[in-house]
Amino acid sequence: MSSQTLEPFVKLRTGQAQGRPFKVLGIQQIAIGGADKTRLQKLWVDMLGLELTGTFRCERENVDEDICALGSGPFKVEVDLMQPVDPDKKPAVHTTPLNHVGLWIDDLPAAVQWLTAQGVRFAPGGVRKGAAGFDICFLHPKSNDEFPISGEGVLIELVQAPAEVAVAFGKLLAGST
């Protein structure tokens, strides 16, 4: 491929396309749902060796989760193993096995403002503290007439990156361009 062919991809990767005022830095987490999180632990912790680093339970969000880690430092990816507090209530965190993907964002308020103006639909709840203590919000998995852009079936969590993560990803990008 020529450098001309790669130019649109480099611009997209560095967050410069379409005047976007924020960057998606990397994967912050994946969340996996099931009826019984101990079955998920058997694979992810016992067989694959992920480290169990914490737990989170929230009646309002109908979630009881084990928080695991893959990797370390600023490139650590959180793997949440989730089961519902009540399987008959919403949200039904167990009905979609890959529940959501979390993305590190360098400027969450700018991202929310810009994406909303572009017609991206957000899930109810707004920006709030997430289970790991970072500010978060979710892109809705389904669009509607007012907001025609969505996760197209995937719930996407936007997570405000702490300074050390932003710096580490910045160094990674600077070394690869």
| Predicted confidence (pLDDT) per residue in 88-118, tens digit | 999 999 998 888 999 999 999 999 999 999 9
Residue 138 burial (C-beta neighbours within 10 Å; 0-12, 13-18, 19+)? buried
pTM above 0.85, yes or no: no
The residue whose two tokens read 């990767």 is 13
Q: What is the mean pLDDT of residues 10-32?
A: 77
In this model, does residue 24 exceed pLDDT 70? yes
Given this model, what pLDDT does residue 17 score?
52
- Give the C-alpha separation, 40 to 34, whole Å: 7
Q: What is the mean pLDDT of residues 41-61?
A: 93
Instruction: Kindly report the three-state secondary structure assignment for every residue of 135-173.
Output: EEEEECCCCCCCCCECCCCCEEEEEECCHHHHHHHHHHH
More confident residue, 67 or 13: 67
In this model, does residue 5 exceed pLDDT 60? no
Torsion angles phi and psi, residue 49, rounded to 5: 80, 20
What would the two tokens of residue 70 be?
A: 């893959």
Given this model, what pLDDT does residue 113 score?
96
The angle subtended at Cα 113 by Cα 111 and Cα 118, nearest 5°, is 90
Q: What is the mean pLDDT of residues 79-96?
A: 94
Given this model, what pLDDT does residue 172 score?
85
Given this model, what pLDDT does residue 99 score?
86
Q: What is the mean pLDDT of residues 152-167?
A: 93
Domains defined along the chain, listed by start: 22-176 (3.10.180.10)
Given this model, what pLDDT does residue 48 score?
83
More confident residue, 159 or 153: 159
